[in-house]
């Protein structure tokens, strides 16, 4: 179904050029606050704002390609309207929050695109996701399913009725459901529609002929 995609794991990460990496190192090693190196004025440390902004633009552009326009966490298409929830805008999301882990502000594996609901203050926001820290990002332990380091299906399974279940009692699965509100009714309903559409090989629930659907599967409605 066009409005939802189950993303098992992100297939690749952003690669920075040597020049971009040099700017990033200067930003990270400076005394400036994380929010400032990400979006504020950086002239004082010898990085031109437009050079930093070109990295920020590149992050979004590349991740849009990698994620093909879908939120990694909830799986919905970024421009999909969900009832009164409104348009799902795109955020460049720091998996480990930049406010807590400045060193990982530009780390490729720490960046993912998320919708404004998943990344909003009601859900993930600035919550800590690292349970044990290491200077090498890949050696950190995370308390949620990690888009690059984990396979989603090792932790969560998508059930026929659109609900999610923790695989082998996965704590990461449980935390991910809670942190992103994945058990909310509108998420369950949209995943259920996705499963129905997939089984009938149509792009949207509105393409289904209701009569045919009732004949073929009375249990669906
Ligand atoms: Zn989302």
In a domain, 210, yes or no: no
In a domain, 5, yes or no: no
In a domain, 34, yes or no: yes
Range of the domain at 142: 18-182
Q: How many domains would you assign to the chain?
A: 1
In a domain, 162, yes or no: yes
Residues 126 and 99 sit within 8 Å (Cβ to Cβ)? yes
Q: How far is the CA of 83 from the centre of ligand 1 (A)?
A: 14
Q: Read off φ and ψ for residue 174, nearest 5 degrees.
A: -65, -45
pLDDT tens profile 166-196: 999 999 999 999 999 999 998 999 899 889 8
Q: How far is the CA of 116 from the centre of ligand 1 (A)?
A: 7
Q: What angle do CA 133, 117, 169 make, to 5 degrees?
A: 55
In a domain, 215, yes or no: no
CA pair distance 88, 81, nearest whole angstrom:
7
Q: How far is the CA of 72 from the centre of ligand 1 (A)?
A: 7
**E strand intervals along 49-108:** 90-94
* pLDDT number for residue 120: 81
pLDDT tens profile 25-55: 999 999 999 999 999 999 999 999 999 999 9
* pLDDT number for residue 84: 45
Residue 53 falls in which region: left (phi positive, over 0), alpha (psi -120 to 50) or beta? alpha
Buried/exposed 34-54: b ≥16 CB within 10 Å, e otherwise: beebbeeebeeeebeeeebee
* pLDDT number for residue 211: 65
CA pair distance 46, 70, nearest whole angstrom:
36
**Helix, strand, or coil (residue 141):** strand
| Mean pLDDT, the chain, integer | 89
Q: How far is the CA of 216 from the centre of ligand 1 (A)?
A: 32
Q: How far is the CA of 149 from the centre of ligand 1 (A)?
A: 19
**Helix, strand, or coil (residue 178):** helix
């Amino acid at each position: 179904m066009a409005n939802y995609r189950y993303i098992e794991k992100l297939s690749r990460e952003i690669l920075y050029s040597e020049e971009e990496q040099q700017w990033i190192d200067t930003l990270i090693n400076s005394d400036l606050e994380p929010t400032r190196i990400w979006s504020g004025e950086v002239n004082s440390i010898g990085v031109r704002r437009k050079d930093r902004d070109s990295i920020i633009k590149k992050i979004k552009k590349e991740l849009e390609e990698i994620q093909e326009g879908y939120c990694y966490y909830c799986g919905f298409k970024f421009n999909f309207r969900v009832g009164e929830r409104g348009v799902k805008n795109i955020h460049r999301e720091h998996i480990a929050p930049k406010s807590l882990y400045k060193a990982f502000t530009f780390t490729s594996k720490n960046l993912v695109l998320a919708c404004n609901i998943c990344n909003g203050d009601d859900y993930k926001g600035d919550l800590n996701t690292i349970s044990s820290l290491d200077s090498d990002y890949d050696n950190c332990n995370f308390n949620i399913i990690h888009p690059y380091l984990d396979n989603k299906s090792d932790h969560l399974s998508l059930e026929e009725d659109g609900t999610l279940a923790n695989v082998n009692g996965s704590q990461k699965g449980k935390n991910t459901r809670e942190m992103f509100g994945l058990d909310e009714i509108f998420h369950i309903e949209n995943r259920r529609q996705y499963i129905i559409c997939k089984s009938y090989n149509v792009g949207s629930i509105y393409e289904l002929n209701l009569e045919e659907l009732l004949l073929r599967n009375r249990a669906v409605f």
